[in-house]
Amino acid sequence: MSATPNPKQTPNLGDIARALGVSVATVSNALSGKGRVSASLVPRIREMAETMGYVPSQAARALRTGKSGVLGLVLPDIASPLFPQIAQAIERAASASGYGILIADSRGDVSLQTEAINRLIERGVDGLIIVPRRGTRIASMDIPFAVIDSPSTPGNTVSADHWQGGGLVGAHLAALGHRKILLIGNNPASNVQNDRIGGIRASLAGAASIEVLWIEQHEAQHGIGALLGLAEAFTRGTTAFAAVSDLHALRAMTELHRANIRVPEEATIIGFDDLFWASAITPAMTTVRMDMPRIADIAIASLIRTIDGKSGDDIGENARIPMSLIVRQTCGPAPSIISPSP
Amino acid sequence: MSATPNPKQTPNLGDIARALGVSVATVSNALSGKGRVSASLVPRIREMAETMGYVPSQAARALRTGKSGVLGLVLPDIASPLFPQIAQAIERAASASGYGILIADSRGDVSLQTEAINRLIERGVDGLIIVPRRGTRIASMDIPFAVIDSPSTPGNTVSADHWQGGGLVGAHLAALGHRKILLIGNNPASNVQNDRIGGIRASLAGAASIEVLWIEQHEAQHGIGALLGLAEAFTRGTTAFAAVSDLHALRAMTELHRANIRVPEEATIIGFDDLFWASAITPAMTTVRMDMPRIADIAIASLIRTIDGKSGDDIGENARIPMSLIVRQTCGPAPSIISPSP
DNA sequence: CTGAAAGCGCTTACAG
DNA sequence: CTGAAAGCGCTTACAG
């Protein structure tokens, strides 16, 4: 049907120019809307590009402009909870700004993290979003980057305000009358976990007695998958269990159930992150969640700003985004100490 | 320290060539190992590239060769269970083959899926891995692609053998002596879920009475988050609950716990997919999992083969990869009908 | 307003 | 074995 015999699979600016008898510069200008082009020509060029099925060559554009339009996302472990939420929010924010996202999984390994970063740089990304492996500190680099949820070079980190989130947990538990609370963390080397626990502690100061159980330490002693001793804590008077992640809150809940301790009637449980299944279980998990879309928007916006050279690598004094409490069913009032069970 | 005053930030082939007094063609050949270059020159060129911190320009290479070295991954919803596992496996397989992965989330929407595919194509990916939204059929495209876990153009699909996986469940349950089983699915429009359920049914034919509960239908009637009536099913004699996903198995388990029915002593539960938390709960979930690394390897290998023009868009007659049973603690022998509870 | 031309950095026949 | 040259498709000063 086409007039041109044996047309190339992918038309380029030259093909459009030829078809219209104008120059490629004019076509380029018309399509990008940058240079001045006569008002009458613009629609004709646009139409022709459309009908020919023109798709600009990213490679040529990138070579010419030095910008790939792609951002790299470095994650410690795509498959573990929470990171998918981050990845999704980042992908949305980036694509809303016209950027693509190239992913790299550092598999929780520090050296692989460096390698992943290099791989991404070699692929020509314009900037990097890094969610560092716990405890890692990202040194400065010669490419714009933003860090999520871990301290780094001052000025380019966005994170949830985990301390404030912890405060939400503490306040909720205090309001419910709990006086003896077990905090459940995984690893004390995690800044995020320490902030959450610190926030809970601070908001509960004096109002409740608090103990902390670190799962990794506990498992190092008792073996992977060992019971956490929650039933025992319960018999010693603990009425509330606050975990730094829904994952551990779930583990706590199933362990209590296993010991015939009812949630929330006898024991209260609260978690963090609102993981995918948190609302589907019975009882549904009360939790505190991060504002991922906002975190992603800030990280991406700041990154793009520094890519465009409009800012000094700054995220607005290390943004800390408030978390919010999602009240569901695992929290109840503290059972009276006087009458433990009817 | 450098001899050249004010060197560019990123050296290119020309810089290396100049530094060594050879041509760019020779440098290119030495670095790629393609053309013949004298044995003595190769190491010198390599070293110089190294010390100058040479990073090849993907953009230029892509423009010249017409290949970007990047594959697109289209997912229905990065944040929902299982997809992160897929994304991770795909990323690993791709990067092992020297490819990068650009992600696009179609947010469970069919039109966004098309849009996501186009966005990826415009970014110049060499091929596409598509995990279609349930029920979607991917039409042929002018770019190489492979489909995971959904029927499509015959010949380019890899998927887990969900039917066989269902068989594993049925056999396990039968061996344990269960005679009345409730199957729990979410949506009957899902091919994956239907295959799993079909496989369970087929392997149990005649050996047990089977009912199916579709959660979406149930919730349409009783409201989102409504109890599934599992306790009632239990009192009617159901001893085993087999869900098409650990997510629903978890929901079932918590619902039974809530009704004081003990797992696995009184009721058996089994799921699918070995989601992240499946091994952390108490009791740990017995489940059937897909061989993601293998599925990813096959999809990527086949895709690369068709990109390189070495095959006719074929994945080896629609590969179906066996699933495997992971026995943990939620399954127990069927309690004798004669003496329901001691 | 429009076009001719240069050039981004690379790879690949083609001469020598 | 080595090099000069063309060309991938685009954008951007610069003339006209």
| pLDDT at residue B233 tops 60 | yes
Q: What percent of chain B has pLDDT over 90?
A: 77
Q: What is the pLDDT of residue B342?
A: 43
Q: What is the pLDDT of residue A81?
A: 92
Q: What is the pLDDT of residue B35?
A: 74
Interface of A with B in 67-86 (CB under 8 A): 68-70, 77-81, 83-85
Chain B closest CA to A64's CA: distance in Å? 9
Task: Please state which of the ranges A114-118, B6-10, B148-152 shows the lowest mean pLDDT.
Answer: B6-10
- Most B CBs within 10 A among A64, A71, A78, hence the mutation to make, goes to A78
Instruction: Indicate yes or no: CB of B123 within 8 angstroms of CB of A58.
Output: yes
Question: Nearest residue of B to residue A283 by CA position?
Answer: B254
From chain A, pick out residues whose CB is under 8 angstroms from the CB of B68: 58-59
From chain A, pick out residues whose CB is under 8 angstroms from the CB of B88: 77-79, 105
The total of other beta-carbon atoms located within 10 Å of residue B56's CB is: 16
Give the model's confidence band at B313: pLDDT under 50 very low, under 70 low, under 90 confident, else very high: low
More confident residue, B311 or B109: B109
Q: What is the pLDDT of residue B3?
A: 37
| pLDDT at residue A338 tops 70 | no
- A60 to chain B, any CB pair closer than 8 A? The answer is yes
Task: Please state which of the ranges A121-135, A307-321, B119-133 shows the lowest mean pLDDT.
Answer: A307-321
| pLDDT at residue B245 tops 50 | yes
Residues 6+ apart with CB under 8 A from B208: B173, B174, B178, B179, B180, B181
Region A199-204: mean pLDDT is: 97
- Which domains are seen in chain A, by residue range? 13-56 (1.10.260.40), 69-160+291-322 (3.40.50.2300), 162-289 (3.40.50.2300)
Q: What is the pLDDT of residue B10?
A: 84
- B9 to chain A, any CB pair closer than 8 A? The answer is yes
Q: Which amino acid is at A12?
A: N
Give the residue among A82, A83, A86 at the shortest CA–CA distance from A277: A82
What the block records as the tokens of B121 is: 């194509």
Chain B 46-105 contacts with nucleic strand D (CB below 7 A):
60, 63-64, 66
Asked if A187 contacts A214 with a C-beta cutoff of 8 angstroms, the reply is yes
Cα(B237)–Cα(A220) distance, integer angstroms: 42
Q: What is the pLDDT of residue A312?
A: 58
Task: Convert the pLDDT of each residue in A210-237 to its tens digit.
Answer: 999 999 999 999 999 899 999 999 999 9
Task: Please state which of the ranges A104-113, B22-31, B67-76, B322-331 shows the lowest mean pLDDT.
Answer: A104-113
Region A293-310: mean pLDDT is: 92
- In whole numbers, what is the pLDDT of chain A averaged over residues? 90
- In whole numbers, what is the pLDDT of chain B averaged over residues? 90
Closest CB to B102 among A79, A101, A122:
A101
CA of B102 to C1' of D13 (A): 34
Region B76-98: mean pLDDT is: 94
- Most A CBs within 10 A among B58, B184, B227, B290, hence the mutation to make, goes to B58
- E strands in A67-138: 70-75, 100-105, 127-130
Residues 6+ apart with CB under 8 A from B339: none
Asked if A53 contacts A82 with a C-beta cutoff of 8 angstroms, the reply is no
Q: What is the pLDDT of residue A10?
A: 84
| pLDDT at residue A135 tops 70 | no
Instruction: Indicate yes or no: CB of A105 within 8 angstroms of CB of B84.
Output: no
Task: Convert the pLDDT of each residue in B21-73 to its tens digit.
Answer: 999 999 999 998 887 888 889 999 999 999 999 999 999 999 999 999 999 99
Region A51-78: mean pLDDT is: 94
- Classify residue B124 as left (phi > 0), alpha (psi -120 to 50) or beta: left
Q: Measured between alpha carbons, how far is residue B228 from residues A202, A274, B218, B236, B277 in Å? A: 40, 22, 7, 14, 22
| pLDDT at residue A89 tops 50 | yes
Instruction: Indicate yes or no: CB of A247 within 8 angstroms of CB of B276.
Output: yes
Instruction: Indicate yes or no: CB of B281 within 8 angstroms of CB of A250.
Output: yes
Q: What is the pLDDT of residue B68?
A: 95
Instruction: Indicate yes or no: CB of A70 within 8 angstroms of CB of B123.
Output: yes
Cα(A241)–Cα(A252) distance, integer angstroms: 8
- E strands in B227-328: 240-243, 268-272, 286-289, 320-321, 324-326
CA of A54 to C1' of D10 (A): 13
Q: What is the pLDDT of residue B311?
A: 66
Interface of A with B in 90-109 (CB under 8 A): 91-92, 95, 100-105
Percent helix, strand, coil in chain B, to 5, is: 40, 15, 45
Give the model's confidence band at A152: pLDDT under 50 very low, under 70 low, under 90 confident, else very high: low
Asked if A306 contacts A74 with a C-beta cutoff of 8 angstroms, the reply is no
8-state DSSP, B336:
P
Cα(B30)–Cα(B54) distance, integer angstroms: 13
8-state DSSP, A286:
B
Among protein residues, the one whose C-alpha sits closest to the C1' atom of C13 is B35
Task: Convert the pLDDT of each residue in B164-207 to its tens digit.
Answer: 999 999 999 999 999 999 999 999 988 899 999 999 999 999 89
Chain B 36-95 contacts with nucleic strand C (CB below 7 A):
54, 56-57, 60-61, 63-65
CA of B8 to C1' of D14 (A): 25
Instruction: Indicate yes or no: CB of B254 within 8 angstroms of CB of A282.
Output: yes
Asked if B176 contacts B333 with a C-beta cutoff of 8 angstroms, the reply is yes
- E strands in chain A: 70-75, 100-105, 127-130, 145-148, 157-160, 180-185, 209-214, 240-243, 268-270, 287-289, 320-321, 324-326
Cα(B332)–Cα(B310) distance, integer angstroms: 50
Cα(B94)–Cα(B153) distance, integer angstroms: 22
Cα(A250)–Cα(A108) distance, integer angstroms: 23
Q: What is the pLDDT of residue B279?
A: 96
- Most B CBs within 10 A among A255, A257, A292, hence the mutation to make, goes to A257
| pLDDT at residue A108 tops 80 | no
Cα(A321)–Cα(B281) distance, integer angstroms: 31
| pLDDT at residue B94 tops 80 | yes
Residue B35 Cβ < 7 Å to strand D: yes
Region A303-321: mean pLDDT is: 78
Cα(A78)–Cα(B88) distance, integer angstroms: 6
Region B273-284: mean pLDDT is: 96
Give the model's confidence band at A116: pLDDT under 50 very low, under 70 low, under 90 confident, else very high: very high
SS3 B153: coil
Q: What is the pLDDT of residue A34?
A: 82
